[in-house]
Amino acid sequence: MYGLWFTILLVEVCVVVVADICFMLLFLRTAKLREGPGQLILVQAQGQIIVDLHWLIMFDPDIEENYNACMALAFVAYFGFIMSCTYAAAICVAVSVHFDKPKYPSLWLYHVAVLAISISISLIIYLTGGEKIEGFNFCRFNHVGINTNWTE
């Protein structure tokens, strides 16, 4: 059953990563896309790639044995997940606020706000023991570093 689950996850991750990379290439080729919320979508896609690739890295046996490496990966995954979600919200706000305007203003304030929110929330989750929260448990260890073996 584990092999089937991993295969399905691998296919899904590959499809999403390829779609995100295609969008990034389209972003580079299309000037109009670089003007408006396309900037926000680009960074949201990058955050999504971080989240998706973390699932593949988690199946590395060396990560399973190394608590510090797993916790570092967990922080990157927290950050990618929160950044991706926050950019999705920023895209909605930007489109709603600037929908009827002929030209989008500079979106640097959106980027600063999203990065500040993402870093803050990631640090809070990570420093307060996010690995113990169900749904945020990226590592296979409990607090003392003992393998909880969730794959069986």
Would you tell me the crossing angle of helices 108-127 and 67-98 to the nearest 10 degrees?
150
| Ramachandran region, residue 118 (left: φ > 0; alpha: ψ -120 to 50; beta: rest) | alpha
Burial pattern 54-83, b for ≥16 Cβ within 10 A else e, equals beeebeeeebbebbeebbebbbbbbbbbbb
Task: Give the start-to-end residue ranges of the domains of the chain.
Answer: 2-98+105-132
For every one of its 152 residues, what pLDDT tens digit does the chain have, with 9 covering 90 and above?
Answer: 667 777 887 888 888 889 989 988 998 998 888 877 888 888 888 888 888 877 766 666 666 567 777 777 777 877 888 888 888 888 888 888 877 776 777 788 888 888 899 888 888 877 776 555 555 555 654 444 444 444 44
- Taking the whole predicted model, whether its pTM rises above 0.85 is answered as no
Could you tell me if 5 and 34 are in contact, meaning their C-beta atoms sit under 8 angstroms apart? no
Amino acid at position 91, single letter: I
Q: How far apart are alpha carbons 93 and 37 in whole angstroms?
A: 10
Reading the block at residue 94, the tokens are 């930007």
